[in-house]
Amino acid sequence: MTTTGADLLVSTALANGIDHCFANPGTTELHLVQALDRADGMRSVLCAFEGVCSGAADAYAKVTGRPALGLFHLGPGYANALANLHNARRHHTPMINVIGDQASWHLGVDAPLTSDIDALSAWTGRLIRTESADGTAAAMAEAVAGALGDPQRISNLVIAADHAWGEATGAPIVIDPPAPVGVDDDAVIEAAAALRRPGAALVLSSGIITEATLRAAGAIRSRTGCAVFTTRAGRLELGRHLPRIDELPYFPQPLRAALAEVEVAVVTGKGEPVTFFGYPDTPSTPLPDGAERVSLGGLDDDLEALLQALAAELDVAVPPGADRDVDPLPPVADGPLDARNLGQAFAAAIPEGAIVIGESITSGAGYRALAPSAAPHTLISITGGAIGGGLPSAVGAAVAAPDRPVLALQADGSALYTIQSLWTMAREGLDVTVVICANRRYQILDIELDAAGISLEAAGPGLTALDDPPVEFAAVAAGFGVPGVSVSTGAELERALARAASEPGPHLIEALL
């Protein structure tokens, strides 16, 4: 058997512990398809749209901490992956996107599918191009190094078709992982001093927020009386086993209100909170004027180590367990569904160890309020705000953790961006339960329109309504091979969730709000 450049690229990925590929190949990737297929230990997951690949790879990497591969067809295929790569970029998700390009000598004739891949790559991360079939090992090694060490963690590896099919000699190259980031003791001392002051708040911003981090933050709060918040975590532990730490609100007015009493804020990760959008007569940063800002590490620092050092500096012992009285989950109110009883039923249905995917700002509020009383679980969020990341994330999380049930709380409008995800769930038999929050509108836009004092004329369907016709999600799911059901009361939702939990494979529940 001839070893091709594609084989060497794949074996280099495997030698670096990268053994999953979310793929949507085309003609320029034929030999990569062959190489993925014949490499022992590589699992390829076919997606019917590239945005499913990139969103799945993002969640896979968030759950495992290891880079995932994506495989894309030329510039246009990679373009379809970009929106969810924006979300990955915001989280600093380690990712390697392999993009098959025209044969090197075919680029010059400007064939129809040829385009400036470099321009697209610049939007997300590092560009690497193969130089020969033998060079695929070095190219993949550089991609691994970028995924582990670049600021934005995204490597785009463009492989010419002739480098993929050419015979390759040479061995895989293994990259040493970068040394762990140390803790900046001066920053810890400064943060500790700040948190001892009145009006202090600790804001855990973005990144991965672990149980140990939350326990340390809770203990620091108990000792110092500071406020603690999370905001825009990509991966967050939640449940009754942890201190209750609230998330900062999404909309600017409640966000400002939550921070109104802060005099000094210690912020980690991405840094000081900002509003999602700019609004007239509203500051971009919701911390009060004059509040002091103290930075405790960036998004690539080891937040868990920082918080443990902070606890030590404050002489705080971190207790195990919730360290609080946990309110029991309320019974699920029957009657027509709204955000409240939808949240009650969803929170009650979370099994211990589950992964929850949250892409529902307006209808997900009920679940989010009850999450601290739910069974221990992990919440994966859409970190860059680019919608359409939810269903692909459910695919990637379920592939990453086959022993953990995945529950996706998914807005209807954003579900439509990457609805093809359902097919991969069926194809792979993934243990995913999707709850579609079907208010049949872009409700967040209606709220924003109202806040801006804009009332649209009644004539004709507006640009925020999804109800004419309504999308029948249960039918769409069935078409993609996922059993679907539509429910409209709290009791119906409870029963549907119980049934989904009792059966293997994916399920979709359309919750009519």
Task: Please report, as residue ranges, which positions from 422 to 481 form the binding site for a copy of itself (by CB under 8 A).
Answer: 423, 426-427, 444-445, 448-449, 452, 454, 456-457, 461-466, 468-481
Number of Cα atoms under 13 Å in the Cβ half of residue 406: 33
Of 64, 285, 295, 488, the residue at the interface with a copy of itself (CB under 8 A) is 285
Mark residue 453 as left, alpha or beta (left: phi above 0; alpha: psi -120 to 50; beta: remaining): left
Least distance (Å) between residue 92 CB and a copy of itself: 13
Question: How many CB atoms lie under 10 A from the CB of residue 249?
Answer: 18
Least distance (Å) between residue 188 CB and a copy of itself: 25
Which span sits near a copy of itself by CB under 8 A: 80-88, 169-177, 304-312, 370-378? Answer: 80-88
Residues constituting the chain: 513
- Does residue 488 interact with a copy of itself by CB under 8 A? no
Least distance (Å) between residue 309 CB and a copy of itself: 27
Of 106, 196, 441, 495, the residue at the interface with a copy of itself (CB under 8 A) is 106
Least distance (Å) between residue 60 CB and a copy of itself: 17
Per CB under 8 A, which of residues 216..235 are in contact with a copy of itself?
232
Q: Which is nearer to a copy of itself, 180 or 460 (CB)?
A: 460
Location of structure tokens 């209750």:
244
For Cα atoms 494, 495, 501, give the angle at the middle one, nearest 5 degrees.
90
Mark 109-148 with x for binding to a copy of itself (rule: CB under 8 A) and - for no binding: xxxxx-xx--xx-xx-------------------------
Of 205, 95, 208, nearest to 152 by C-alpha is 95
Which span sits near a copy of itself by CB under 8 A: 133-141, 329-337, 416-424, 431-439? Answer: 416-424
The secondary element (H helix, E strand) that includes residue 335 is none
Given a contact cutoff of 8 angstroms between Cβ atoms, the answer to whether 104 and 135 are in contact is no
Q: Which is nearer to a copy of itself, 295 or 420 (CB)?
A: 420
Per CB under 8 A, which of residues 35..64 are in contact with a copy of itself?
36-38, 44, 46, 48-49, 51
Mark 2-31 with x for binding to a copy of itself (rule: CB under 8 A) and - for no binding: ---------------------x-xxxx-xx
Strands 292-295 and 264-267 come out as: parallel
Of 277, 319, 321, 402, the residue at the interface with a copy of itself (CB under 8 A) is 277
Least distance (Å) between residue 178 CB and a copy of itself: 24
For Cα atoms 80, 84, 86, give the angle at the middle one, nearest 5 degrees.
110
What the block records as the tokens of 87 is 């979300």
Which span sits near a copy of itself by CB under 8 A: 77-85, 134-142, 303-311, 398-406? Answer: 77-85
Per CB under 8 A, which of residues 144..203 are in contact with a copy of itself?
161-162, 165
Of 62, 90, 256, 507, the residue at the interface with a copy of itself (CB under 8 A) is 90
User: CA distances (Å), 240 to each of 63, 298, 304, 474, in order?
Assistant: 21, 28, 20, 32
If you ran DSSP here, which 8-state letter would residue 286 be given?
-
Q: In this structure, which amino acid lies at residue 85?
A: L
Three-state secondary-structure class, residue 467: strand
Sheet containing 406-411: order of strands: 208-209, 235-238, 377-381, 354-359, 406-411, 432-438, 507-512, 484-487
Per CB under 8 A, which of residues 380..409 are in contact with a copy of itself?
383-388
Least distance (Å) between residue 53 CB and a copy of itself: 11
DSSP per-residue string spanning 418-465: GTTHHHHHHHHT--EEEEEEE-SB-HHHHHHHHHTT----SSS--SSB
Least distance (Å) between residue 307 CB and a copy of itself: 23
Per CB under 8 A, which of residues 288..327 are in contact with a copy of itself?
none
